[in-house]
Amino acid sequence: MHQINYDYGFRYPAKISIPDQCPHCGKTMELSIIQRHINTAEGVMILTAQCTASICRKYFVLSYRYHPNDGPTDLIPYTYEPHIETNVTKEVAQLSEEFANTYKEALVADSRNLTHITGISLRRAFEFLCKDFAIYQISKPDYEKSFENSQKEPKTKADIVKSNVNNIIDSFFKDMPALQQLSHVIRKLGNDETHYYRKYEQLDIQDFKRLIETFMLYIQLILQADAYSKMTK
Ligand SMILES: [Zn+2]
């Protein structure tokens, strides 16, 4: 927030506060004032503003308390909730509601440039989808008990919930090499988001987001293949 001298059309210019960031894109910019409307009955001055960031150029409204003697004074705070569309499919949302909710929150955080909590939320979303998918695998009637020789591999829902993600990936994705490989990359980047020491400096939150999205699409592929196979038996 910073102050400018604004000529509101009466007497001398008034000092008003204007936001530094655009409510739509979150970029720091010097807004452009397009129009002014004074409503003396309601005691407000309304300014139509435009974001000057070239990728955005969107409009928004600022309103100020107004008195004929004092002119415009305090900025009336508005909060805008960004509308976030996620491409989480119905099948994935049914499999893991916690993934769908956390993933959406991560995208809201990302839209506000909250890069630190975006990463942590994505890591959390990933863990839920991994584990809920593992629970789905063991619940299939034709799921082979191929784990009998291994002590390490989780066999029940309770085992899966308590197990670490590394173990889940190696136990449940081993027959799907691409998914296993992708999951380990996500796991490593996820550690980077939560730990003090950052190992993969060349990769950022956008890479992390893309990988989680691909992971989700892979899970969707399996869910859809299973569902339609059942219907065409
Ligand atoms: Zn903007």
Q: Can you give the pLDDT at residue 83?
A: 74
pTM reported for the whole predicted model: 0.69
Between 133 and 86, whose confidence is greater?
Answer: 133
Question: Ligand 1 centre and the CA of 112: distance in Å?
Answer: 11
The one-letter code for the residue type at 199 is K
Residue spans of beta strands (DSSP E) within 28-69: 32-39, 44-50, 59-67
- Tens digits of residue pLDDT in 142-178: 776 555 556 678 889 999 999 999 999 999 999 999 9
Question: Ligand 1 centre and the CA of 167: distance in Å?
Answer: 43
Question: Ligand 1 centre and the CA of 52: distance in Å?
Answer: 7
Cβ atoms 34, 59 nearer than 8 A: yes
Question: Ligand 1 centre and the CA of 83: distance in Å?
Answer: 14
What Å distances lie between residue 214 and 34, 52, 158, 211, CA to CA?
42, 34, 27, 5
Question: Ligand 1 centre and the CA of 58: distance in Å?
Answer: 6
Mean pLDDT of 213-230: 95
- pLDDT band for position 24 (50/70/90)? confident
Question: Ligand 1 centre and the CA of 20: distance in Å?
Answer: 11
Q: Which helix (H) or strand (E) holds 74?
A: strand 71-75
